Chain A
Amino acid sequence: GAVVSQHPSRVICKSGTSVKIECRSLDFQATTMFWYRQFPKQSLMLMATSNEGSKATYEQGVEKDKFLINHASLTLSTLTVTSAHPEDSSFYICSARDSRQGLNTEAFFGQGTRLTVV
């Protein structure tokens, strides 16, 4: 099956610093990738949609300047949490669909990144 690789799996950073999370589709191309945030014992909340070669679209309530998204190639999207604060601590997950299969198909998920801001 298709593989989505997310890196790093865990990161601890100091308050005020920025952290970059990478999401790669290893064996397929993805013109669109999705970034989710998940708090403990809660569901996945869609943060933004990453579009290759264009600006990301953000869900209502998500700060664009706080969560910078770059989708520079068909296999890589990055999420940068800028000026991180303890309340940004969470589990961040990316997903992608195979561009050749269309948009009404399963999405493959990365293994997630546990961010802890101290």
Chain B
Amino acid sequence: GESVGLHLPTLSVQEGDNSIINCAYSNSASDYFIWYKQESGKGPQFIIDIRSNMDKRQGQRVTVLLNKTVKHLSLQIAATQPGDSAVYFCAENRHDYKLSFGAGTTVTVRA
């Protein structure tokens, strides 16, 4: 079936370095994607979104890139901080407008 998935389950990054989290999706008709951050014991928190008519979108310290040709999505976090340690999920808006979540990448920031 069509789904959203993440390439790597874990990512360890040195504080101050940039982080890149990847996501592959399979539904070429999807036109809206969201990145969420989930801290332990909490609900997902919106980070940034992007529509299929864009290739790149920037927020505060975060950038999302969308490559529709290879159906790939990435989240870049600049100057990673200890507070960025969390699980990151990409989510795809299905044709019925329900969100389908990827497996998640656990980001650990080393001091």
Q: Which A positions have Cβ atoms within 8 angstroms of B?
A: 1, 4, 6, 34, 42-46, 49, 91, 93, 95, 103-112, 114
Instruction: Give chain A residues whose Cβ lies under 8 Å from the Cβ of B36.
Output: 109
A34 touches B46 (CB 8 A): no
Q: How many A-B residue pairs have CB under 8 A?
A: 51
B101 touches A44 (CB 8 A): yes
A43 touches B102 (CB 8 A): yes
| A43-B104, A111-B42, A111-B43 known; A104 vs B93 contact (CB < 8 Å) | yes
B43 touches A112 (CB 8 A): yes
Would you give 19 A-B contacts (Cβ < 8 Å), ordered by A? Answer: A4-B43, A42-B103, A42-B104, A43-B89, A43-B104, A46-B99, A95-B43, A95-B99, A104-B51, A106-B46, A107-B34, A108-B46, A109-B43, A109-B45, A110-B43, A111-B43, A112-B42, A112-B43, A114-B41
Instruction: Tell me the complex Cα distance, A103–B42, Å.
Output: 24
Instruction: Give chain A residues whose Cβ lies under 8 Å from the Cβ of B89.
Output: 43-44
A112 touches B41 (CB 8 A): yes
* Chain A interface SS verdict (over half): strand
The size bracket of the interface on B is: 20 to 34
Instruction: Tell me the complex Cα distance, A109–B45, Å.
Output: 7
Instruction: Tell me the complex Cα distance, A1–B45, Å.
Output: 11
Instruction: Tell me the complex Cα distance, A110–B103, Å.
Output: 20
Q: B35 to chain A: closest CB distance in Å?
A: 10
User: Which listed residue, B31, B41, B45, B98, touches A34 by the CB 8 Å rule?
Assistant: B98
Instruction: Give chain B residues whose Cβ lies under 8 Å from the Cβ of A6.
Output: 43
List which B28-78 residues lie within 8 A (CB) of chain A: 31-32, 34, 36, 41-46, 49, 51
Instruction: Give chain A residues whose Cβ lies under 8 Å from the Cβ of B51.
Output: 104
Instruction: Tell me the complex Cα distance, A71–B51, Å.
Output: 30
B101 touches A43 (CB 8 A): yes
Give A38's nearest chain B residue, CB to CB.
B38
A46 touches B43 (CB 8 A): no
Give A114's nearest chain B residue, CB to CB.
B41
